[in-house]
Amino acid sequence: MGGSMSTEKLLPGTDRSYMALSGPSTPSKSTSFRLSADAVGATGGGGSPIFEELPMATIVSVSRPDASDISPLLLSYTIEVQYRQFKWHLQKKASQVIYLHLALKRRAIVEEFQEKQEQVKEWLQNIGVGDHTTIMHHGDDSDEETVHFSHEGSSRHRHVPSSAALSIIRPSLGGQQTVADKAKVAMQGYLNHFLGNLDIVNSREVCKFLKVSKLSFLQEYGPKLKEDYLLVKHLPKSIRKDDADCFPCPRFNFCNNNWQKVWVVLKPGFLAFLEDPLDTQLLDIIIFDILPSSSKISEEKVQLTHEIKESNPLWCAFRVSCGNRSIRLRTSSSNKVRDWVSAINDSVQKPPEGWCHPHRYGSFASPRGLTEDGSEAQWFIDGQAAFEAIASALEMAKSEIFITGWWLCPELYLRRPFQDHSSSRLDALLEAKAKEGVQIYILLYKEVAIALKINSSYSKRRLLLIHENVRVLRYPDHLSTGVYYWSHHEKIVIVDYRICFIGGLDLCFGRYDTVEHKVGDFSSLIWPGKDYYNPRESEPNSWEEMMKDELDRKKYPRMPWHDVHCALWGPPCRDVARHFVCRWNYAKRSKAPNQEDIPLLMPHHHKVIPHYMGRSEPIEISSDKIEQKKNLNRQDSFSSWSPSEDIPLLLPKDSQVVNVDDILDGHWKIHHLVQQTVASESLFSHQSAVEPMDQDLHVDDCMDDSMSSNLETDKTLSQITHSHKPSSVEWWETQERGYQDASTDKTAQVGPRSSCSCQVIRSVSQWSAGTSQAEESIHRAYCSLIEKAEHFIYIENQFFISGLKGDTTIQNRVLEALFSRILKAHKEKKCFRVIIVLPLLPGFQGGVDDGGAATVRAILHWQYQTICRGENSILHNLNAALGPKTHEYISFYGLRTYGRLVEGGPLVTSQVYVHSKLMIVDDRIALIGSANINDRSLLGSRDSEIGVVIEDKEYLESSMNGQPWRAGKLSYGLRLSLWSEHLGLHPGDISQIHDPIADKTYKDLWMRTAMENTLIYQDVFGCVPNDQIHSRANFRQKMSHVREKIGYTTIDLGVAPRVLEESDENGNVTSTDPLERLKSVRGFIVCFPLEFMREEDLRPMFHEGEFYASREVFY
């Protein structure tokens, strides 16, 4: 079949969505990872067959190259093949059918001979000599063509009579009127012979003839597009016994010992290279990504694939270029080249699903959830809630787990108190799943050791010791890539392509926290060893003795950690998984491209159902049916034979496929999400009023306007909202939350799982993911959403470093978008609010005045340059334009808490470190991810990041500045929970914040609470940063005074005196217990100190090492 001139075409008019031909289809089953040559029988040959039921073939037309030539062997037949919901066309010549017949006859003869050998062997064994008897096999059948049929019965049941083939050669015999009609009937008859027998259909010969492979009908990878043998040169030379028979003919020296024949499979999202159509060993894969835009000079459209001219006219070739890869492929005719070029380009560039077609915000992924496709999202506030959900998801893993992060600690406990949850330690969880056969892939950021102390080398060693099914890669190699400044900053956990978690939380020490944000844990019940973490005080030099304390718990507080995470189901989850697969494959090629002990593996098989079952609308699956599907056998996973040392390439799942488990009608059951923490008295922690609780298009014509959300009218909203819409307060108080205790005293840490429109966005480039161009869709999403905001913007972020359009240093334009939107609101005389919550100080080691704290000061410099200092700051420009009305539109805040470290010990305070990367717009849209607001995270060419834009589809009656407003269920609920925590509100007080921009909320509650809390902390602690310390000299004086008065303090002056001494206007001194003052603190919100260090140039000095680093590192 090597010289086959057949071509395969997509069926005209067929949609790439899965359309069932007759009722629901049985989910495809895959074989083990590596099949032996004789394990391809129908049902009993050791592997799953390609065809589980009989396909159908119809002769559509008959043609001949020359009307004057009546030779039957030159006739060409167009054959339409149909298998379940898959249809495709083949072009075959009569001579090829005859070759197929001869191959089947040869196979039948060999099979009959082998059956007789088995009978002889059995007879010899019965008489006692079978143990020493060797059955000789036919030497000509020892190559890859040896395939044993597996059905019981003799070879005659698989016989195709020669008379059926004879009629093809002599179609003139019979009573038909024309040769073409006779040939069509003859060919149809012959096809019916071998397509009526599963044994024959699943033979290697017929599978090659029909152009099918083990990948053809696996629905999780999308529809069948095109596949065939091609020649490639870029792969390491494999030992194949049939290489000498490569097409078109060995006498032309076509392969010249460097080219090899491989089976190439085109799917909507990738081009896969297999050694053989019946093999599942992945040799290579090209994952399609966004193509560079056409140059303005050339009007020619940029193509993924194009035909190339070879020096030898007998060679016909084309090139596929994607990302940083360019691969040349050869085939036997120019017609085949054109077919491949057309098929590939059509599959990747057709909007909106084409992966090379740029989507909204310039993202690699299109918006999901615009139809009922199973797109769902859920939010988590702080580490306790998120880690519990992640632990429960990991425990439910059946097939594979993907993890990547900036920092990962194998010894991290995902549930607390840790003594009661030893099995929830990350390494223990992964070990348990690996022993069950779950394949685990972990990508670690390989840091520059002299700059960071996250010790990814230790983490890798620990992880690889867990089990052979755990595979770990660290990337990048700094010397070979030249990447020293930038990092992999995504935080991703993906389980079985069903659920993924993204956001601000790494699986590492210091991130676990509760809504209480305790400063102490003297009895070490919640934060063991180095998990009692405060990077402002000290970064551990080693993480290997994790149970050993780094800080003196009697003297120094931990740094409480505030974060936001989210879970995604359905197509957005598969988009995130696709991003992980791209990064994994790129790192694998860079780290271990040719190691024989690290083979490329096929990703794991999932039992899925297609979107459509022959209906005009998406199908809905009842919970009863889902329960039946949940018990489907998963033993046919591709991973079942994966060697222990394998680091595979992973195929991405097609994002349009719905997993049965993805469409659960209720919540995805995660039990006991919020574990009850050990009760502690108020003197161990600050007891706040919050109780603890267990379309913007940047590429022209990329997407139809109907794909993007309309934030300016209510027409669409009225069509998709229910006729009865509960009030926002009513909904909040009655909302059922399956992940937590339903106490009316507790603020929600977990939102309801909601059907939403979601779009995955990211920051990647050539160095981080091997893409052909930098993608900055997170940056574009921020700017677009700000520009389109109608009433308010709420931002929480670890950094806030951005620039106006005249800024030549800072390149991201989030600040410009905010500035322009505020000016527009002022011009239109409309109420518009921007609230930004940031860390009070960068989370790096060293006091503001310490010699080794140049990084802290540098970040403060660029942040203050953005906010309020210099001609490019937003407050400077707004004050010039709006005067004193500036504070009506924008304000900045931080979070702070207090408590006692030990009973009888002093009161201490610490900032609550804001690490979330969140923006909520108009209570309808939430942007959640890993990206900071700075150039590092937003430009795409620097740090790699992941995020998601979540747009609500379910709405509640609320208000904006006293006017009726439909608030989104997810976004609105998230803001209420965050504000309740920050302001110290009980759920019964939620009505106070349902309107975020009204004066009674913004001024009388939010701003007033922040100012009062700030004054209390200043009076009790005098902690930094504050607006009274304007220089480093002021800071040194304050530090000296505190140490002289109290004896010791923290690095940020966070220790209160035993007694507060206050003087009245008459000079009378009174003594007050500082705890009495602190009882007036509500929540955690405080004002961001805009005057702190205003007299200092905080940039690194020439005598500091940071002076000689690129300043881009700090912003």
DSSP helix/strand/coil, 475: strand
Question: Catalytic annotation on 489?
Answer: yes
What Cα–Cα distance (Å) separates residue 352 from each residue in 221, 294, 695, 703? 17, 19, 14, 6
Question: Catalytic annotation on 357?
Answer: no
Residue type, 286: I
* Cα–Cα distance for residue pair 218/83, rounded to 1 Å: 12
Question: Catalytic annotation on 922?
Answer: yes
At 597, list the tokens: 């002990």
Catalytic residue among 336, 915, 953, 1038: 915
* Cα–Cα distance for residue pair 510/577, rounded to 1 Å: 26
Catalytic residue among 87, 93, 148, 491: 491
Can you name the residues that pair with 890 across neighbouring β-strands? 834
Catalytic residue among 92, 211, 267, 489: 489
At 871, list the tokens: 């001609």
At 340, list the tokens: 């491949």
Q: What are phi and psi of 624, to 5 degrees?
A: -65, -45
Other Cβ atoms less than 10 A from the Cβ of 1045: the count is: 10
Beta strand 561-562 with 913-914 is parallel
Q: What are phi and psi of 1067, to 5 degrees?
A: 85, 5
Q: Which of 779, 797, 760 is nearest to 942 (CA)?
A: 779
H or E stretch at 102: helix 94-126
* Cα–Cα distance for residue pair 117/122, rounded to 1 Å: 9
Task: Determine the angle formed by the axes of helices 94-126 and 179-194, rounding to 10 degrees.
Answer: 20
- What is the full DSSP assignment across 709-725? --SS-SHHHHHHS-SS-
Q: Which residues contact 966 (CB under 8 A, 6 or more apart)?
A: 714, 717, 721, 725, 924, 955, 956, 957, 958
What Cα–Cα distance (Å) separates residue 357 from each residue in 346, 703, 939? 11, 9, 20
Beta strand 76-83 with 56-63 is antiparallel
At 511, list the tokens: 């991130």
Q: Which residues contact 253 (CB under 8 A, 6 or more apart)?
A: none
Q: Are 389 and 380 in contact (CB under 8 A)?
A: yes
Catalytic residue among 199, 228, 427, 496: 496
Question: Catalytic annotation on 915?
Answer: yes
Q: Which residues contact 557 (CB under 8 A, 6 or more apart)?
A: 519, 520, 534, 899, 901, 908, 909, 910, 1050, 1054
Cα-based angle 800, 805, 806 (whole degrees, multiple of 5): 105
Can you name the residues that pair with 513 across neighbouring β-strands? none
* Cα–Cα distance for residue pair 892/991, rounded to 1 Å: 23
DSSP helix/strand/coil, 1033: helix
Q: Are 383 and 512 in contact (CB under 8 A)?
A: yes
H or E stretch at 10: strand 7-10
Residue type, 623: S
Question: Catalytic annotation on 148?
Answer: no
Question: Catalytic annotation on 346?
Answer: no
* Cα–Cα distance for residue pair 628/264, rounded to 1 Å: 36
* Radius of gyration for the alpha carbons in the chain, expressed in angstroms and rounded: 33
What Cα–Cα distance (Å) separates residue 19 from each residue in 26, 71, 346, 617? 13, 39, 20, 11
- What is the full DSSP assignment across 896-955? EEEEESSTTS-EEEEE-EE---EEEETTTEEEEES--BSHHHHSSSSSBEEEEEEEESSE
Q: Which residues contact 280 (CB under 8 A, 6 or more apart)?
A: 30, 31, 32, 33, 34, 35, 214, 274, 602, 638
* Residues with active-site annotation: 489, 491, 496, 915, 917, 922
